Structure 1
Amino acid sequence: MYPRIVDIPLPFEIGGLDSLTVYSYGLMVVIGVLVAAWLAARELDRFFWNGRLPGVKVPVPPEEQDGGREKRRGRNRRPPMRTASPSVLMGTIATIAIVAGIVGAKLFFILENLDLLARDPVGTIFATGGLTFYGGFLLAAASIVWFLHRYDLSARTFADAIAPGLMLAYGIGRIGCYLAGDGDWGV
């Protein structure tokens, strides 16, 4: 297996590190997230144009307002809004999912291994390993549902739109597990 893809030497030492290591699992997770976000954005566009999801209100960029001239006087005036596809929120949603997923995965690992936490609290909390998939999935899903509620979007329809991307991302992440030598049955 290939847990480490490349070590990139750094021109100076940072916190005791003289090289940046790219791990196969991390690379595959990043690829999975990017592919899932791209596919989910395309599906959200399709759902928006088919009328299954409503549009979201987003500010009109200043360059599109009266030839780029700023007409707002005073600080409290809101910029003009326009309706756009929910896919414009995909970058924010992906960021929320990544952060909440990592935090949830670590929290559930700690809850499953309270004996490790009692023996070595700092080592358990700050260890590089110890991530539980379903913990990350649950906290990321709850965080995204909360975010969607703020924009009055249906969580069920949104879940329907992003499901193909999530399945693909999970499969790509599993390939990363095999590349790292952490596959099922010790493969």
Structure 2
Amino acid sequence: MQALLQAAALSPALVPASIPSPGWSGFDIPLPWGNLRIHAYALCILAGIVVGLWLTSVRWAKRGAPEGSVWDIVIWAIPFGIIGGRLYHVVSSPDAYFGPNFDGTGDLSLIPQIQRGGLGIWGAVVLGAIGAWIGCRRSGVKLSAFVDAAAPGLLLAQAIGRWGNYFNQELFGGPTTLPWGLQIDPNNPNFPAGMPADTLFHPTFLYESLWNLAGVLVLLALDRRFHFRRSRLFWLYAMYYTLGRVWIELLRIDDAEQISLFGVTTRLNVWTSIFVFLAALAAFILLGFKGRPEPDSVYLPSHEPAAEPARVPDPGTVTNVRAPDTVVSDSGSRGNLPDNHSGSRHASDPTEEAEAAPAGAKPGPDATAAGHSGSTATGPAPEAGTGK
């Protein structure tokens, strides 16, 4: 009993009351001309791309897409998406690059340094979709079919990629006393000025990661039940993601562009999420009126694979065709079969003596008896109407 009381007294100290700040953010690879820094943020983004691409390729293959076409598409979509995501981040958080109020005090050299963090999802989706459209046109498949296959994988990639914000100690929420509060290194440049060093913050990266993982399961379950087509699953993804992004974005305290609309001033990402949600809802409803496409194919018109022509045998080729069996007559061929009981000729076969008999001669009684006695007969037998 005493041991249980001691364990209970120590348990609060064993259970962490917060999420610790990361003590690792990457590693260096030594090279002859210096070190190559591999950032944890980039590794998280890469891991998200790999896992999301795996799920997309599995779903794309099940739709009957041409083999290898997914790679022809993503080779355009991924670079376009990264560029678009970076451009959106620069526009939505311009102070570091252009200075406050675009006063020129920013550092433009930071724009291409993606390893420092900063990719806006909506810029990535828009330019990534343009890249995917190019790849789809080159592969002869429908963009609407591809984005339906890619929607759950895209959400899965975002769930994994969000952990890059944790390793960069960025994009966290306001102060909190919840037991899952996030610790931020006070010496980190992202630590809010004027706050105590032991302040805990909302782990918005974790909220969004969990929200996205739940969304993957939701999208897969709904698609399995309703088999969405015409890009409706993609618009469902957009609605789900923005629904969570609004409340998560409102928790964040990092610097962002503020926009005033309808008398309300809030972050640009909040307004973007609201408008994208409404647009996605309208597209989802309107596309639902069209019903399922007929035929339900991933190929663009006139790009369907040609059906294999029927194989015509070469006239000069000799084919092994079995000839039909000939009809066996009682008086001809069947009579040549040996008798199963004695090995002699069939009782219905005329003997040489019978064949030699003059025309019109009638067989004697002995011959008649021989016809019924089978192999014991020594004389000629007449031809019987039926054999036994």
Task: Give me the TM-score of the superposition, normalised by structure 2.
Answer: 0.34
1:44 Cα offset (Å): 0.9
Q: 1:6 aligns with which of 21, 24, 27?
A: 27
Q: Higher helix share goes to which structure?
A: 1
Instruction: Report the aligned-residue RMSD.
Output: 2.4
Equivalent residues of 2:83, 2:124 under 8 A apart = yes
Distance 1:106 1:21, change over 3 A: same
Could you say what secondary structure the match of 1:22 adopts? strand
What residue in structure 1 maps to residue 165 of structure 2?
A: 177
1 CA distance for matches of 2:164 and 2:51? 14
Could you say what secondary structure the match of 2:119 adopts? coil
2 CA distance for matches of 1:90 and 1:99? 15
Q: 2:43 aligns with which of 4, 19, 27?
A: 27
1:31 Cα offset (Å): 1.0
Structure number, greater radius of gyration: 2
Distance 1:184 1:113, change over 3 A: closer
1:174 Cα offset (Å): 1.0
What residue in structure 2 maps to residue 165 of structure 1?
A: 153
The higher relative CO (CA closer than 8 Å, separation ≥ 6) is in 1
What residue in structure 2 maps to residue 101 of structure 1?
A: 81
Task: Give me the TM-score of the superposition, normalised by structure 1.
Answer: 0.66
Q: 1:125 aligns with which of 111, 121, 143?
A: 111
What residue in structure 2 maps to residue 79 of structure 1?
A: none
In the alignment, structure 2 segments of 5+ residues that lack a partner are 1-21, 174-200, 204-388
2 CA distance for matches of 1:170 and 1:40? 13
Question: 1:55-134 alignment to 2 at 5 Å?
Answer: 55=65, 85=66, 87-113=67-93, 116-117=97-98, 118=102, 119=104, 120=106, 122-128=108-114, 129=116, 130-134=118-122
Q: Higher strand share goes to which structure?
A: 1
Q: 2:63 aligns with which of 21, 31, 47?
A: 47
Structure 1 vs Structure 2: percent identity of aligned residues?
A: 27
Equivalent residues of 2:77, 2:135 under 8 A apart = no
